[in-house]
Amino acid sequence: MGELWRLIPEYLICAGAIIALFVDLAHLDERWAPRAGALFAAAAAISAAAIGPGGELFGGVIALDETAVFARVAVAALAAVWLLWVSGRGLDPERPAEAVSLALLSVLGGMLVVAARDIAVLFISLELSTMPAYVLMGYRRADARGLEGALKYFLLSMLTSLMLLYGLSFVYGLAGTTAYSGLALGPATALRSVAFVLVLVGLFAKLSAAPFHYWTPDAYAGAPAPSVAFVSTVPKVAGTVAMIEIVSALAPGVPDAQVILVVAAVLSMLVGNLAAYPQTDLRRLMAYSGVAHTGYILAALAAGPSGTGPAVFYAVAYAVPSMALVLVAAEEGTALDDLAGLAARRPALAWASAAWLVSLVGIPPFVGFFGKLYAFTVVIGADLVWLAIVAVLMSVVSGGYYLRVVAALFFKERVDAVPATRSVAAALAFGLALAAVSLLGVASAPVLEFLGVSL
């Protein structure tokens, strides 16, 4: 029991997933499942913060360092906000309780991913985090378009999971250990570089990094908007931390590691930002936006060990406003024209949406600005000034398509809009998301200091 109590947050998430499955048997209202799930996720986030860093567990296969603690809290808190919104608005699937259970199982996998320090634990946890997402993306069985997108997601993700596993097998063969701490041992060889590339391909596909992003727009456009809000953020934060940790462990033994990361960062920033411009569906726009933001994360990661903290912080800074905006689309409609006139119908939500969009652009005082500031600063510190310039230019470009959404909210009219019913839970979820992008911006310095970033 000396180590088990540090996994109380994971026990809470697992308990919530099991309880959600039995809501139907108890003949309770279907909204009891997301309500219970939100409570368990919030309790998991609070307990993870209270437990704090705790060193290695179970012989070193899990480590609760500062990065893991921050990511555990973020994953559980994002899930709590999502489930709170669901408890107010519903999912409208065939089996809502099972959807909540699947989401919590994905959260459980994500919380184990960020703490994993062994490639066997990493792979198992990563699959636990992503497999429920396949089901959530195609949850409406009567929706052929959604099933097509979910099938693309499933097939490509399975293929790249096998490539990831293949690369990890090479890594194990070369290092003779599954522990992260020993993965860079031995001479730099061509086989080690091949293994590094295979591992990155598997992780890039899960994080929608170019050129392995092609499944993302179709999957997001076909899936229910609430599912997109979850899948595009919660597993992505966990996957980002996994990529950071595994790259940090492997890169010292791969001479071309920085070149590979820089190329992927530039491709992701260019493809994501430029392809987002012509989109008229907010889900597709956010899909390409996610590709671009993955590029910013990769740019920070290319800076070396100094980029680890800013990359983790940026992943959370992206996830919060992204989830909130897709949930707005779930209420109002996913086409940009559906959002027209929101400022007249729901002014508070329109102004909150504007704040989330401004944060994604990277304008102060919101968290997106500080995320980009510290990420680009470490890139410059690594003598990659040209890469920082590309990232800044692409951030300016992103303002064009984000401001299109702002223009729809405030400067267009929609005469056929049906007023949304009031929901205290959904309003609270949006309020928490707005508070997060504001407070994380104000508290960015102490958070980054906690993550080991020298300011």
pLDDT digits (tens, 9 = 90+) for 397-455: 988 889 888 888 888 776 666 666 778 888 899 999 999 999 988 888 888 888 877 76
Q: How far is CA 298 from CA 308, 379, 394, 401, 447, in A?
A: 10, 10, 14, 22, 20
- Residue 263 — pLDDT band, cuts 50, 70, 90? very high
- Residue 218 — pLDDT band, cuts 50, 70, 90? confident
- Residue 137 — pLDDT band, cuts 50, 70, 90? confident
Give residue 29's pLDDT: 64
pLDDT higher than threshold 90 for residue 363 = no
Give residue 345's pLDDT: 83
- Residue 144 — pLDDT band, cuts 50, 70, 90? low
Q: What is the DSSP string of 283-315?
A: HHHHHHHHHHHHHHHHHHHHT-GGGHHHHHHHH
pLDDT higher than threshold 90 for residue 76 = yes
pLDDT higher than threshold 90 for residue 212 = no
What is the mean pLDDT of the segment spanning 378-388? 90
What percent of the chain is predicted at pLDDT more than 70?
92
Give residue 341's pLDDT: 81
Domain ranges of the chain: 1-255, 256-455
- Residue 358 — pLDDT band, cuts 50, 70, 90? very high
What is the mean pLDDT of the segment spanning 136-145? 71
Q: 41-58 as b/e, with b when 16 or more CB fall inside 10 Å? A: bbbbbbbbeebeebeebe
- The reported pTM is 0.92
pLDDT higher than threshold 80 for residue 152 = no
Tokens of 380: 């410059």
Round to whole Å and give the CA distance between 232 and 227. 8
Round to whole Å and give the CA distance between 238 and 374. 20
Give residue 216's pLDDT: 80
> Which residues fall within 8 angstroms of residue 25, CB to CB, at 6 or more apart?
none
Give residue 94's pLDDT: 58
> Which residues fall within 8 angstroms of residue 396, CB to CB, at 6 or more apart?
none
Residue 442, φ and ψ in degrees, nearest 5: -65, -40
Tokens of 453: 């970033």
Q: Tell me which residue of 243, 310, 244, 249 sits closest to 449, measured CA to CA.
A: 310
Q: How far is CA 95 from CA 16, 21, 110, in A?
A: 16, 10, 23
281: left (phi over 0), alpha (psi -120 to 50) or beta: beta
- Residue 73 — pLDDT band, cuts 50, 70, 90? very high
Q: Are 357 and 402 in contact (CB under 8 A)?
A: yes
Any idea what the Cα angle at residue 19 is, between residues 17 and 25, rounded to 5°? 130
pLDDT higher than threshold 90 for residue 393 = yes
Tokens of 225: 């908007």
Give residue 207's pLDDT: 86
Q: Are 265 and 295 in contact (CB under 8 A)?
A: yes
Assign 56 to helix, strand or coil: strand
Q: How many helices (H) and strands (E) does the chain have?
A: 19, 2
More confident residue, 134 or 13: 13
Round to whole Å and give the CA distance between 92 and 226. 10
Q: How many CB atoms lie within 10 A of CB 72?
A: 28
Give residue 343's pLDDT: 84
Average of per-residue pLDDT values in the chain: 85
Compute CA 61 distance to the chain's CA centroid, rounded to the nearest angstrom.
23
What is the mean pLDDT of the segment spanning 355-368? 90
- Residue 130 — pLDDT band, cuts 50, 70, 90? confident
Q: Tell me which residue of 79, 104, 98 sits closest to 30, measured CA to CA.
A: 98
Give residue 24's pLDDT: 65
Dihedral Cα 197, 200, 201, 203, nearest 10 deg: 170
Alpha-carbon torsion 85, 88, 94, 100, what sign?
positive
Q: Are 327 and 380 in contact (CB under 8 A)?
A: no
Give residue 267's pLDDT: 93
Round to whole Å and give the CA distance between 315 and 298. 10
Digit-coded pLDDT (tens) for 8-60: 899 999 999 888 887 766 666 667 788 888 999 999 999 999 988 877 778 77
Digit-coded pLDDT (tens) for 307-350: 888 999 999 999 999 999 999 988 888 788 888 888 888 889 98
Digit-coded pLDDT (tens) for 220-245: 887 788 888 888 888 888 888 888 88
What percent of the chain is predicted at pLDDT more than 90?
26
Give residue 157's pLDDT: 78
* Rg from Cα positions in the chain: 21
- Residue 186 — pLDDT band, cuts 50, 70, 90? low
Instruction: Calculate helix-pair angle for 234-250, 119-137, nearest 10 degrees.
Output: 150
